[in-house]
Structure 1
Amino acid sequence: MQIVCCGESLTLLPEKAIYWEKQAALILADLHLGKAMHFRKAGIAVPAEVNQENLRLLQKLIVRYAPQRIIMLGDLFHSQLNHQVEEWYVWRKQFPDITFHLVKGNHDVLAEAHYSRLQIQLHHQLKLGPFHMVHTPDGDMERGSGYLLCGHIHPCVRIKGKARQSVVMPCFYFTQTHAILPAFGKFTGRHFIRFANDAKVFAVLGDEVMEVPAG
């Protein structure tokens, strides 16, 4: 789905990412690579291949859109250094001409030297065009410095049908001041948020994105 935000044309993708053609940039949030391993160590049965599925999906988008940069709005990795971080390192080497940017999230706890080794440019916040990219919508930032793009919340919306049927779907959430992206990762959970009066909500419904009533 194509929308215009702050005068910029953005494509909302059913893979739960944004393609910004003018900047040749893919923007996504909350991969939480390594989260499956974190839960498996605690004895919770989570498929081990979740990490690879997330990377395969990102690779699919790279092949389709050929971005020059990928901007991740926090929580790329879920925890400390582990072999799934090393999987990223091997995977990332396929794309030497793409610049990877990470706006640091609350789960991005690796030492900065590791991000450098993984060929990731680390930021606490990132400004590009009219957008001010952060991890959380209420983080440490200069107010009025741009339209906020963020993640962290993992927003979702309930879509109601006939006979009291309903389905919960991830969504992109836009207001006059900020937008929250759905979590890109497959094993991340979802969170209902209180919709502002001016909100526009775009639900991910299978292989398409469509605007739905807020609320």
Structure 2
Amino acid sequence: MSRVLLATRNRKKLGELQRILGDQVTVLGLGDVPEFPDEPEIGATFEENAVAKAVQAATATGEISLADDSGLAVDALNGMPGVLSARWAGRHGEDAANNALLLAQLADVPDDRRGAGFVCALALAVPGAEPVIRRGEWRGRIVREAGGSNGFGYDPLFVPAESDVAGDGRTSAQLTPAEKDQLSHRGRAIALMLPDLKLALGL
């Protein structure tokens, strides 16, 4: 069976990609390959960080590798937290602290100016070849109180435009996994990347 390495230890991201790719491909995470040193994320853009992670993983393991860098861009904060999304409150991956800080920063921002978008840059690195980059975006708005327990990161604060169109106002964390896979920034980036990935895997 074909396999691809997703350069992450985030089990939810791994599960998300496995659901989208189905049974044709086995998705490996960093915990499934010999350990190699993680280089710090120092890119100024999502694309720079994604390419660096994918190339590092492919070079270290010899595996066809995918890496994403994703985050939340809030209009009222001039596109921040952006590439700093995972460590917005100071330490990497502390979702509750990141969410609390974001809500505090937007406390005085009126509802009609709380637009935001999730962004995902996805890079594919095949050993010996130039990396391929695809970008997915998911527009919506930031609510005043968290809602839902699905997903991770800023999902409980983000109401996608599709929820507003449907009139239910559900946050990303209140969507089913199948709904989120279809709509999300990561799902869109993966959909754009699928032809490149299938070609690389010989599918």
Q: TM-score, normalised by structure 2?
A: 0.23
Per chain length, whose mean CA-contact separation is higher, i.e. which structure has more relative contact order (CA < 8 Å, sep 6+)? 1
